[in-house]
Amino acid sequence: MTRTVLPKNLLVNAGTLLEGFQNASEWENWDNMTFANDTAHFREGAQGVKFTGAVDSSSLGVKAVNLDLSSATTITAVLYIENNTIVDDYLDYGTLRVYLSNDEDLTNNFVYWLNLDHRLSPGYNVIRFRKNECSVSGSANWKNPIIRLGIRFSSFAAGAAVMTFCGIYADQENIPKLVITADDGDATAYSEIFAYLNPRGLKFTAFIIGESVGGIGKVTLTQLQEMYNAGNDVGNHTWDHTDLSTVSLEEAISKITTMRGWQLDQGFVRGSEHLAYPYGVYTTELLGALPSLGIRTGRLANALSVPYTYPPVDNLYLLNVGNPSVDNDLATVKTYVDKVAERKGTLILLFHKLVASNPVDEQWLISDFQELVRYILAKKVDVVTMSEWYRELSTPRKIAR
């Protein structure tokens, strides 16, 4: 048996650069789009290209290219979203489309559609898709050269959408990872999630509310100690689950540090550096304060339809999740697992209470959870805790092959 060192940021293939976005003048306005060089946000060279759409309209920019994607499998796009373009923590935009066309007028083309509502967060975002996820127009053929690259997105009446594109790559690849998390310290985190994962050699992260430990329907301290000693993380979900956007920065910090102090007192060191925001809500000021508190990651709670992360991650305090619930059934969550395996990224899953029947809201069936775990095992996606995932970004571990 050999032991292989995992690469930094779990990145095994940096991919082939298709477009570096180095010159705004190379882009043509086809429909209500303006362009400007952005020297503050880029991945290649010394700048990116900032695209600004029109209010309450769809906008399109096009560039002449010459790309051979005949043997490519995935396309990865990196873009930056400014804070002042968000509404309710996420973009209030319409749909982003990437066109890859065999002809000049975009008649014979491939299009990848991404609905931006609750998909992208402020800062850098990475979108990755497989060629077979694109829709096909006309007689588009991957065997033929791609000679036009198009970017279209919509803005709502609230304001013009603005995003800086920093790079598009073919076949960028990470080692697939899956992080199972469970919030609020419900008793089923121990009786169902831990009980099913542990015999199968899998670990998870329980994000705990400190003041509720040992309460009715909640995990006990003894159970948390057993889970921690088995290699699971006990993460920070604040002391009392207060909406951190409704209190002062000082009080929000106190909620987090009180919980972290309790974790350290109990010996729950690993997960004490990893925070799950109550209700998935935060403030910009709080994000800026987290590093000084010893918090290394911040996990959201929004039920995204595209809940994937592709290291390197520019903002570890806005980690997306997939949220199994009555609105995201077993079949849907299995597609999350399929796509993270195919696209080579990271998937963080968020569970709450598991029930035997009649789930409501964020609850999920015990039988569905167990079937999902069997599916994950069959897909052979590596399941890790939050602390393991974070360490592997910068301090790779060795794995047996």
Cα–Cα distance measured from residue 127 to residue 89, given in angstroms and rounded to the nearest whole number: 18
Kindly tell me if the per-residue pLDDT of 2 is higher than 60: no
The sign of the CA dihedral 394, 180, 320, 322 is: positive
Whole-number mean pLDDT of the chain?
90
Q: How many residues does the chain have?
A: 401
At 174, list the tokens: 């990470």
Provide CATH 2.60.120.260 ranges for the chain. 13-172
Q: Is the pLDDT reported for residue 297 higher than 70?
A: yes
In this prediction, residue 124 carries a pLDDT of 86
Question: What confidence tens digit (pLDDT) does each residue in 17-41 have?
Answer: 999 999 999 999 999 999 999 999 9
Q: 204-215 pLDDT, tens per residue?
A: 999 999 999 999
- CATH 3.20.20.370 residue ranges in the chain? 177-400
**Residue-level pLDDT at 85:** 46
pLDDT given at position 203: 98
Q: Find the largest Cα–Cα distance for the chain.
A: 66
What does the pLDDT average to over 150-169?
A: 88
pLDDT band at 93 (very low <50, low <70, confident <90, very high): low
Determine the Cα–Cα distance for residues 69 and 131; give it in Å rounded to an integer. Answer: 9
Torsion sign, CA atoms 225, 201, 218, 259: positive
CATH superfamily entry for domain 177-400: Glycoside hydrolase/deacetylase (3.20.20.370)
pLDDT band at 83 (very low <50, low <70, confident <90, very high): low
Q: What is the CATH number of domain 13-172?
A: 2.60.120.260
pLDDT given for residue 56 in this prediction: 84
Q: What is the pLDDT of residues 348-379, one digit of tens each?
A: 999 999 999 999 999 999 999 999 999 999 99
| Model confidence band, residue 79 (pLDDT cutoffs 50, 70, 90) | very high
Calculate the alpha carbon distances from 102 to 60, 72, 146 in Å: 17, 15, 5
DSSP string, 32-65: S-EEEEESSS-SSTT-EEEEE--TTEEEEEEEEE
pTM (two decimals): 0.89
